[in-house]
Amino acid sequence: MTIRAQRIMIWWTLAFMLIFGLSYYFLIGLLPLPPATWTPEQVAAFYTENATRVRLGAMILSWASAFPVPIAVVIAVQMARLEKGVPILAILQLCGGLMMSIFLVLPPIFWGIAAFNPSRPPEITTAIHEIANLILVTTDQYFIFQNVAIAWLCLGRVQDAKSPFPRWIGYLTIWAALMFELGAIAFLPKTGPFAWNGLFVFWFPFVIFGTWISVMSWSLLAALTRQEADAAS
């Protein structure tokens, strides 16, 4: 029964992640983020022209943007299975996973607020726009706890054949954690590869996050199948 629930939660995350991607691309329309050098007038014009679309996107993402939560719970349950005594790594991972979802929740809200009343002075709309974009790309605070906990378990704890945490996933997770740290650099430049729309700040974390969560989901689903077969026999 619990295996079925875990499977549903993984697909819940994946489905909501897809909704996030589609709404972000087609409705919010800021994928990739526009140049950080846009003038307040350009920013205000964007939100004026696309007000309805952006607000509709914000509405849908009010339902779907916390998508990392279910998978963080499944990862925690699977980690706790392998830990002896108090599952401290599972708890750290869950805290990190839950908290980092907040930074996926906030940008759509601020985009929606920017589009809510775009006839306000352009400077104010620009400030809201900047809050949204910088929250999206610079927030590495909690990733690191989730990733270190997972890597620690992959590399430091005894695994069994039913574990979804092979050692190479530990190394993949360390690499992903290192790459996410680049996002914070977006506070410094407005152009180039470290600007908020740059290769190292926007595209790498975006692609690596997608890859990491897909690999993790695949490994969890495969492990659940093994656990199910084991429980049946």
Partner 1 sequence: MPQAEGLPTKGHVPGEPGVWVLILGDLMVFSTFFVMFAYYRGLDPATFAAGRQLLDVRLGLVNTLVLLTSSLLVAMAVHRVRAERPGAPALLLGAMGCGLLFGAIKALEYSAKIQAGIGFGSSTFFMLYFAFTAIHLLHVLLGVGVLAFMRGVAARPGAAQRMVAIESGATFWHLVDLLWIVLFALIYLVG
Cα 132 from Cα 130, distance rounded (Å): 5
By rule CB under 8 A, what count of residues binds partner 1? 22
Cβ–Cβ < 8 Å for 159, 184: no
Which amino acid is residue 159, in one-letter code? Q
Asked if 231 touches partner 1 (CB under 8 A), the answer is no
Q: What angle do CA 197, 203, 207 make, to 5 degrees?
A: 155
Phi-psi region of 191 (alpha: psi -120 to 50; beta: other; left: phi over 0): beta
Cα 124 from Cα 103, distance rounded (Å): 21
Of the candidates 11, 26, 171, 218, which one interacts with partner 1 according to CB under 8 A? Answer: 171
Cβ–Cβ < 8 Å for 191, 202: no
Least gap, CB of 155 to partner 1 (angstroms) = 8
Stretch that binds partner 1, among 20-28, 47-55, 97-105, 177-185 (CB under 8 A): 177-185
Element (DSSP H or E) covering residue 208: helix 204-232
Least gap, CB of 210 to partner 1 (angstroms) = 15
Asked if 204 touches partner 1 (CB under 8 A), the answer is yes
- Binding marks (x or -) toward partner 1, 110..149, rule CB under 8 A? ----------------------------------------
Least gap, CB of 159 to partner 1 (angstroms) = 12
Nearest in space to 146 (alpha carbons), one of 199, 216, 222, 206 = 216
Cα 225 from Cα 4, distance rounded (Å): 10
Asked if 178 touches partner 1 (CB under 8 A), the answer is yes
Least gap, CB of 232 to partner 1 (angstroms) = 30
Of the candidates 21, 60, 189, 226, which one interacts with partner 1 according to CB under 8 A? Answer: 189
Least gap, CB of 194 to partner 1 (angstroms) = 6
Chain residues binding partner 1 by CB under 8 A are 166-172, 174-175, 178-179, 181-182, 185, 188-189, 192-194, 199-200, 204
